[in-house]
Structures are given as structure tokens and as C-alpha cells.
Amino acid sequence: MKRRTAIKMGLISSPLIISPSIHSKESFEKPKPTHTLRHSISRWCYSSISIEELINWCKELGISSIELLDKEEYDIVQAAGLDCAIVNGSPLGIQKGFCNPIYHAQLLEDYSNLIPQIASDGLKTIITFSGNRGDISDEQGLANCVMGLRPVVELAAEHNIMVVMELLNSLVDHKDYMCDRTSWGVALVDALGMDNFRLLYDIYHMQIMEGNVVANIKKYHSYIAHYHTGGVPGRNEINNNQELNYPFIIKSIAETDYEGYIGQEFIPTRDDSFDSLKEAIIICS
């Protein structure tokens, strides 16, 4: 299921009514944090849960953001006192991105509508994608991204908005996606040369593509504005049933003086996904 499809399936059109959570607050003692990192969750991973119930979960677990939302849901989240760390970008999605000039006009129109709106609503970050390669070389794709992104990022700068491009794997989940290596994303940030354009470093995706996660985070942390989690293989829970050492990874991120959000973007396998989310917050605290 594509991210945007999952999000749309979970949209709630009713007024904000937060019902009592089925989970007792006494059942979860929030861990004493050892760093200043904040917690966020990706909405699409919990598309079967109503946004109201998800808000309750966040408040129980000390999660301060639900991300990758459209306005219909981030209005509800903000009204409940939570943040939306990253707002959804153009409806063109992941495959039709800035590396292909045929999409530049539509992307500029979409972001020209979205950026002033999210700024007016008090939000700070919006997502973008490179799109798929097709027959475009990585070198030409990078040049195309610079050309297409520049007016978008300039507009975002006027509104104090950060634009992030997500690093995704092209081996398993997003065949042919161009921004699939940290080095390519870093080259794009350098070529664009604007302070309000950075990378969304997805730990799951980059473990699949290149490994060396902690070394790359330490080397390139100044290029990264947000992080996503996920267990490898499978993109499920981030516990001991997968290959990544998340306590060490989170500690390493904190040591770079990063003070932003850690976005949980794993797909729960437990019948009660609350327990998986609770476990992840403990691991990342």
C-alpha cells in the first residue's frame, strides 16, 4: 500500500472528539529521556486507527507529533495540542518527482499552494521526493532536481519552511527511485546551496542501500533535518527481531547535537500496535 493511499484511508471528517483511550496511563511509565530528541509517528503506519485514538496514544506515550498528514488531519492533530513534524507534499507522490522536468510545472504549482498554507497554520517542514530515474542519469537527475527545486525552496525560505527530500531504497520498496544513497542526497543539498533544504534520513531504507548507518549519520548529520525508523528486514518493529541496533543508533544521533524528531515509521506486526509503539518509544529514549 502506498503511503498517501494509506493516509487517505485513515482521514477523519467528523469534529474532534477525543474518546478515552483503552490503554491505562498507569500501564506505561514514560522513560526518563537521556537526550533531547522528540518523538513523532508516521500516520500511514497506523491507517486503521482513527486519528482521535492515535492522538490519545501519543499523549499516553509522550509522543509530540503525528507526521505525513494533509490539512484535513493536521488541523485535528494541532487542535489536540500536538505537532505535525512533516507535512505531505505534492499529490504526485514518490515516483513523479523533481528529477524529471516534465513534472516541474505541476510540482511548482502544488508547492506554491501548500507552502503558504502550512506556514499560515504554524507548521515548519514539508516533504519532497526525487522521483524515479527512468532513462535519466543520476548526474542529469541531480541537475534537474536543482532546477525544479530552486523556486520551491526559495518560496519556502520566504515563509520560514524547511523542505526535505527523503532517502528511499530502490532495491526492495521503491524500484528505480533516484535519491537512494546518502552521497547523492548530500550532493543535491550542496548543489542547491540553501539552508532550508535538507535530507530526511530513513534508517531502514539506508541500511538496505548502503549500511554503515552510524558512520554516515556522524559524517553527514549537518545535511539531515529528520530521521525515520524501521526494522530491517521487513520494515517492522525496531526491537531485537531485526538487525539494527537502535539504542546505539539513537544515541549516536543525539551525540551529533540533533534536537529534532525521531519519526517512527515501522509497520507493527502485533495485534495491538499500541504495544509496538510503546516498545519503540522506550528503545528510542
- Grade residue 2 by pLDDT with cuts at 50, 70 and 90: low
pTM: 0.88
pLDDT of residue 28: 58
Model confidence over 271-280: pLDDT tens digits? 999 999 999 9
**Cis amide linkage into residue 233, ω under 30° from 0:** yes
Model confidence over 112-166: pLDDT tens digits? 999 999 999 999 999 999 999 999 999 999 999 999 999 999 999 999 999 999 9
Q: Comparing 35 with 246, which gets the higher pLDDT?
A: 246
Residue 13 has pLDDT above 60, yes or no: no
Residue 177 has pLDDT above 50, yes or no: yes
- Grade residue 36 by pLDDT with cuts at 50, 70 and 90: confident
Report how far residue 133's alpha carbon sits from residue 137's, in angstroms, rounded to the nearest whole number.
7
Report how far residue 266's alpha carbon sits from residue 42's, in angstroms, rounded to the nearest whole number.
8
* Stretch among 14-18, 32-36, 198-202 having the lowest mean pLDDT: 14-18
Mean residue pLDDT across the chain: 92
What percent of the chain has a predicted confidence (pLDDT) above 90?
87
pLDDT of residue 20: 43
Residue 14 has pLDDT above 60, yes or no: no
Report how far residue 230's alpha carbon sits from residue 262's, in angstroms, rounded to the nearest whole number.
11
pLDDT of residue 266: 98
Angle of helix 273-283 versus helix 246-254 axis, rounded to 10? 50
Report how far residue 164's alpha carbon sits from residue 225's, in angstroms, rounded to the nearest whole number.
7
pLDDT of residue 17: 42
Enumerate domains of the chain plus CATH numbers: 32-283 (3.20.20.150)
- The residues that bridge with 128 in the sheet, in sequence order, are 165
pLDDT of residue 3: 56
pLDDT of residue 25: 45
First to last CA, the chain: 30
- The residues that bridge with 203 in the sheet, in sequence order, are none
Report how far residue 279's alpha carbon sits from residue 104's, in angstroms, rounded to the nearest whole number.
41
Q: Cβ distance 229 to 266 under 8 Å?
A: yes
Residue 196 has pLDDT above 60, yes or no: yes
pLDDT of residue 244: 98
- What's the average model confidence in pLDDT over 163-192? 98
Q: Comparing 25 with 259, which gets the higher pLDDT?
A: 259
Model confidence over 40-80: pLDDT tens digits? 999 999 999 999 999 999 999 999 999 999 999 999 999 99
- What's the average model confidence in pLDDT over 240-266? 97
